[in-house]
């Protein structure tokens, strides 16, 4: 069972790993201070993460700043319930020096390590999930008559340099109204890989996004075929959900990696309940502040 008073986190950037445990604002903690803001949605554009780490070792700061496209993984939650919130690649990393000691390195024994002359170094990392492939991947392939739609879609995914994700679980892929499972006259993929992937997916009546470096396919308006997660006051729901002008439900939860795009959710609150799916989630965390929550936008399923 999770300990909802003891936070736990880890951030891996290339070979640099930062991890710690803490009790929230003012509480004892181990590891370097960090914060993160992660935006994930069912849209085709890459998911994004902004990560800040204070007082990395000089050699680690230099390594992050000179190398692009390093893999980034952010995992966080509570002791006994830590989940991966983001898995992508560095787009930009830079460090800034400033006079302030409100954030300091903490040793493995919980003692303040401090910094020379009370100088802090903040390293800020901007990352995307599949962003490099989105901008640069191209494809040029021709397929003969009778080629299955699934084979063409798999080729587009491979050209994007992402994992095939749930492609093999979605069932038979067919064009148009669902009676053509193969290209009778063949077809061609040519141009930016994400545009060609989008064209093929749309022709099958599906939607797609990249989640943790892999394709996520969904039938329009449907949640993923996975177990629903419960969102209620006893499982971390904070305050009362609301309905926005577009009819989507907005809710806030204690930080919860089980809330990810496409995931079915059973919402049970005092004023609103029902079956939904996650359309968008924003995970926010600060090891020294009060921010340690997930904001979700839900749509009916």
30 CA to centre of own chain: 25
Q: Note whether 90 and 203 are same-domain residues.
A: no
Chain segment 235-272, per-residue pLDDT in tens = 999 999 999 999 999 999 999 999 999 999 999 999 89
Q: Note whether 44 and 126 are same-domain residues.
A: yes
Under the banding of pLDDT at 50, 70 and 90, the label for residue 222 is confident
Judge whether 103 lies within some domain.
yes
Mean pLDDT of 186-209: 93
- pLDDT at residue 121 tops 70: yes
Neighbours of 97 (CB within 10 A): 10
Judge whether 99 lies within some domain.
yes
**Structural domain boundaries enclosing 176:** 134-212
For position 119, what pLDDT does the model report?
A: 62
- pLDDT at residue 225 tops 90: no
Q: Note whether 116 and 33 are same-domain residues.
A: yes
Q: Note whether 97 and 166 are same-domain residues.
A: no
For position 110, what pLDDT does the model report?
A: 37
Judge whether 126 lies within some domain.
yes
Q: Note whether 8 and 127 are same-domain residues.
A: yes
Q: Note whether 174 and 153 are same-domain residues.
A: yes
Q: Note whether 126 and 143 are same-domain residues.
A: no
Judge whether 224 lies within some domain.
no
pTM above 0.75, yes or no: yes
- pLDDT at residue 217 tops 50: yes
Of 131, 148, 174, which closes a domain?
131
Identify the CATH number of the domain in which residue 283 sits. Answer: 2.40.30.150
The answer to which of 23-37, 133-147, 207-221 has the lowest mean pLDDT is 23-37
Pairing mode, strands 264-268 and 229-231: parallel
Chain segment 123-178, per-residue pLDDT in tens = 999 999 988 888 899 999 999 999 999 999 999 999 999 999 999 887 778 887 66
- pLDDT at residue 102 tops 60: no
- pLDDT at residue 285 tops 90: yes
Judge whether 270 lies within some domain.
yes
Judge whether 220 lies within some domain.
no
pLDDT, averaged across the chain: 88
The total number of structural domains in the chain stands at 3
Q: Note whether 124 and 55 are same-domain residues.
A: yes
Q: Which two tokens stand for residue 87?
A: 């898995």
Q: Note whether 107 and 49 are same-domain residues.
A: yes
Mean pLDDT of 294-299: 97
Q: Note whether 78 and 7 are same-domain residues.
A: yes
Q: Note whether 57 and 109 are same-domain residues.
A: yes
Range list of β-strands (E), 137-291: 138-143, 147-148, 182-183, 187-192, 206-211, 214-219, 229-231, 237-243, 249-254, 264-268, 273-286
Judge whether 114 lies within some domain.
yes
Mean pLDDT of 272-300: 95
Residue 100 CA to residue 82 CA, distance in Å, equals 31
Judge whether 92 lies within some domain.
yes
Q: DSSP characters for 205-219?
A: TEEEEEETTEEEEEE
- pLDDT at residue 15 tops 60: yes
């Amino acid at each position: 069972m999770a300990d909802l008073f003891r936070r736990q986190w880890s951030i891996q950037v290339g070979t640099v790993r930062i991890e710690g445990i803490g009790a929230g604002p003012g509480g004892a903690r181990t590891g370097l201070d960090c914060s993160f803001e992660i935006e994930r949605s069912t849209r085709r554009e890459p998911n994004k993460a902004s990560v800040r780490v204070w007082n990395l070792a000089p050699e680690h700061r230099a390594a992050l700043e000179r190398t692009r496209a390093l893999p980034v993984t952010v995992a966080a939650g509570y002791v006994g319930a830590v989940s991966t919130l983001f898995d992508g690649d560095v787009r930009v990393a830079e460090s800034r020096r400033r006079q302030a000691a409100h954030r300091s390195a903490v040793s493995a024994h919980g003692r303040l390590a401090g910094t020379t002359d009370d100088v802090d170094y903040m390293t800020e990392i901007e990352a995307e999930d599949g962003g490099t492939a989105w901008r640069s991947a191209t494809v040029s392939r021709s397929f003969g008559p009778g080629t299955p739609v699934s084979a063409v879609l798999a080729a587009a995914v491979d050209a994007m340099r992402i994992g095939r994700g749930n492609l093999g679980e979605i069932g038979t892929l067919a064009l148009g109204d669902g009676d053509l499972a193969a290209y009778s006259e063949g077809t061609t993929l040519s141009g930016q890989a994400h545009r060609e992937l989008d064209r093929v997916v749309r022709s099958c009546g599906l939607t797609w996004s990249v989640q943790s470096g892999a394709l996520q396919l969904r039938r329009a308006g449907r949640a993923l075929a996975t177990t629903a997660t419960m969102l209620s006051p006893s499982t971390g729901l904070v305050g009362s959900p609301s309905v926005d002008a577009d009819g989507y439900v907005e809710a806030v939860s204690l930080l919860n990696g089980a809330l990810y795009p496409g995931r079915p959710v059973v919402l049970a609150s005092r004023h609103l309940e029902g079956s939904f799916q996650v359309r968008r989630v924003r995970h926010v965390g600060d090891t020294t502040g009060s921010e340690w929550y997930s904001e979700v936008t839900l749509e009916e399923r």
